[in-house]
Structure 1
Amino acid sequence: MAQTLAEANFGNINEILEAEPPKWLADSAASNCMLCNVRFHPIMRSRHHCRFCGGIFCNECSKGRSLLPMKFHMGNPQRVCDVCCVRLEPVQPYLMDHICRAAQLPTHDLTDLSTLRSWLNFPWGQSMEYEIYKAANTISNYSKVGSLKPEKSIPDAILRQAKGLAILTVAKIGVMVTYNIGTGLVVARRDDGSWSPPSAISSCGAGWGVQAGGEFTDFIIVLRNESAVATFSGNMHLSVGAGLSAAAGIVGRAAEADIRGGSGGYAACYTYSCSKGAFLGCSLEGSVVTTRNQENSRFYGNPSITASDILLGSLPMPPAASTLYQALSNLFEKLER
C-alpha cells in the first residue's frame, strides 16, 4: 500500500513538472470567479488568470505566487489560483534548485573596461543580477584604487574581523541640502569563511551642511560584528553619520563611521567609498536603508523568504552570484598570505 502511494505521488509530481503552458480562457469566458463564484467587479473583485491552469479567478482566490515548471520558461514566481498553489507546493524545492534566477550562471561576468557598464555603476539596479555585477565591479575598482592610495584602503585588521559587507551605489546631488538614492546588496561572512547568499537593499536620504555638487558613490560598508549583520537583516534601518566628502572627476575616496539602528537592532559600521563627479563639502547625513523583499523573492523563487533567512540562515551560495564571490575572494586573499 505504501509503495502504491509513493508511486502515485511520484507520478503526480512528474506530471506537474512535465506540464505544458495552458491556453488562457478569454476574459469573457467567466463573469464570476471560478472558485468562490463571486461576481467580478472592476474595483472590489478584479479578475486574474492563473498562470498554471489558465482559469479566471478573483484576487482573493489567487493570492499565491509559485514557480512554474521548466516548459513555462519563467524564472520568477507567478500568480496562481489557490488550487494550483497547493498542487505546485511539492515541486517548489526542486524548481528553486533548477529554474529560479539564483540557480542560473551569470551572463554579465566581466568587470573591466572592455565593457561599458564597468565604467560607471548605475545607482538604481532593477534586478539582483545587476546588483551582483555592480557589487563585484565596486570591489574590483576599489581594490585597484586602493593599491594606489593604500592609506585610504580598508585596513587588513578590519577586513579580517568583518562579519559581512554591504555594497551600494548612491547618487547624491544638491546645494546645502542634498538628496541621495541608490541600491545594493548585503552578504554575511560565515564562521568557516564562506559567504551567505546576497540580500538586495535600497537607500534614500538627505544631508545638510556646507556642500554643493553631484556625485555617484560606490560604498563598501564593513559590518564589524553579528549585531551589524542583524541590523541589515531587518526590513528597515536608519543610518546617521557625518564626514567630509570630496570628488573631482574620476575618483574621490573617503572613510567614515556611522551608527545604524532599526528593526534588526543597532550597530556601528565602517564605510569606505569611491566617488565620481564634482562635489565638495562636509555634512551631517541621514538615510533609510530598506530590504528589497520583492526582489529577493523574485531572485530566490520563494515569496516568503526574508533577509534573515538569507543572511543568517544556511542557504547555499547561489551560482548566479559566482562573480561576486570571486571578487570577494580576491579582496580577502591578501589576508591569507
Structure 2
Amino acid sequence: MSSKHLQVKREILRAIAMLEDYTSSATADGDMEIGSEILRRARGVAFLTSYTVGFFGGGTFSHGVLIAKRPNSEAWGPPVALSGGGATGMFGVGYKEDSQVYVLDTDEAVETCFTEQSVKVGLTASVSLGPLGRSIDGSAFIGMDSKYQAGQETRKAVGVHHYSYSKGVFIGAGVEVSYFSTRDDDTRDYYGLNDDNVPESQLPSARMIVRGDVTIDTTAHPEVEQLLSAVQFAAGDERPGAAINTHGTSWHTTV
C-alpha cells in the first residue's frame, strides 16, 4: 500500500470525523451545526484541513477530500483528493489549524470550486486560543478554466457556505488568496487507476470521477462507504442546524 493511498485514506477518515463534529447536536456548537436540510439540497461537500502560520502576513496550506452528487442525480459519488495553498495579508500572528467544511449548493459551484483549478479570494478573520477557536470567511472562488462569451474571456465566480473550527494560538484578520486543485495522481493511486503503460493525459481525472464518467467499486474501500453513508444519514435526520445566513452565501457570476 503506497504512501499516497494511506494519505487519501486518512483524509477520508478525517472527513468522517469532521462530518460528525458539524452535524451532531452533541458535538457541534449552536452556531456551527450543519442542518440536515442544508446537506439534503447540497450538490457537493468539501472537507479541508488548513494550516496557517502568520507574522503580520503568512502562508496557508490545505488538504482534504471532496464528495459530490452525480450531475442530474441525487446519488453521492466517491471522494476525490484536494489540495491548496496561498498567502494571507493580515494583521495577525501565530499558528492555527482549521477544520473547514464547504457546502456547495449547485453543480456549477462544484465544477468551479474544486473540480478544476480555482483561486479563492476573500476576507478572513480568526481567533484561536487553545483547542477551539473560530474563523470567519467571506470569500469567492474563481475558476481558472476560462471561456469566451460574446467575444470576451470570462471565468466563473461562485460563493459557498463555509463552516470552520480553529485550534492553535492565533489572532488576525485580513485578505486571503488561495489556490485549489484536485490531486489527480493521489486519487488514481487510491482507487488503483494508475497505469505506468498509459500516458497521464489518457488516465482518468478526479473531475471525471466526480462526474461519474469512471466506475469506482466503493465496496473495496470501507471508509468510502462509511463517508457516503454518514452524509446520507446526516441529510435525513431532520436537524434544523444553524441559520444558513451566518455562514456565507451561495451565488455565481462571471468575471
**TM value normalised by structure 2:** 0.75
Work out whether 1:328 is the aligned partner of 2:231.
yes
Q: Number of matched residues?
A: 216
Name the structure 2 match of 1:307: 206
Of 171-180 and 140-149, deviating more is 140-149
Worse-superposed segment, 177-186 or 306-315? 306-315
Distance 1:148 1:202, change over 3 A: closer
* Greater share of residues in strand: 2
Structure 1: which 5+ runs fail to align? 1-73, 77-100, 102-125
Larger helix percent:
1
State, as a whole percentage, how many aligned pairs show the same letter.
26
Unpaired segments ≥5 residues, structure 2: 146-155, 195-202, 241-255
Deviation at 1:336, TM superposition (A): 8.2
The one-letter amino acid of 2:225's match is: S
Q: How far apart, CA to CA, are the structure 2 residues paired with 1:164 and 1:277?
A: 28
CA distance in 2, matches of 1:177, 1:140: 32
Q: 1:214 to 1:221 in 2, by over 3 A?
A: same
Question: In structure 2, what is the Cα distance between the partners aligned to 1:175 and 1:75?
Answer: 36
Task: Verify the 8 A CA contact 1:253 1:272 in the aligned structure 2.
Answer: no
Structure 1 pair 196–212 and aligned structure 2 pair: CA distance change class (3 A): same
| CA shift digits 1:213-247 (9 cap, x unpaired) | 11111110111211111124544110112122111
Larger Rg: 1
* Cα distance between partner residues in 1 of 2:239 and 2:55: 45
TM-score by length of 1: 0.58
Residue equivalent to 2:172: 281
Runs of 4+ in 1 over 6 A off after TM superposition: none
Q: Please list the CA deviations of residues 137-187 of structure 1 after superposition, one character each: whole Å capped at 9, or x if unmatched.
A: 211223357755212323555433311011110111111102111210111
Cα 1:275–1:336 shift into 2, 3 Å = closer
What per-residue deviation string (whole Å, max 9, x for no partner) do you get for residues 280-303 of structure 1?
Answer: 111111100111111112122224
Cα-Cα RMSD: 2.7
User: 1 CA distance for matches of 2:37 and 2:25?
Assistant: 19
Alignment counterpart, residue 297 of structure 1, candidates 168, 174, 188: 188
Q: CA deviation at 1:275?
A: 0.9
Q: Which has the higher contact order (CA 8 A, sep 6+)?
A: 2
Q: Does 1:132 align with 2:18?
A: no
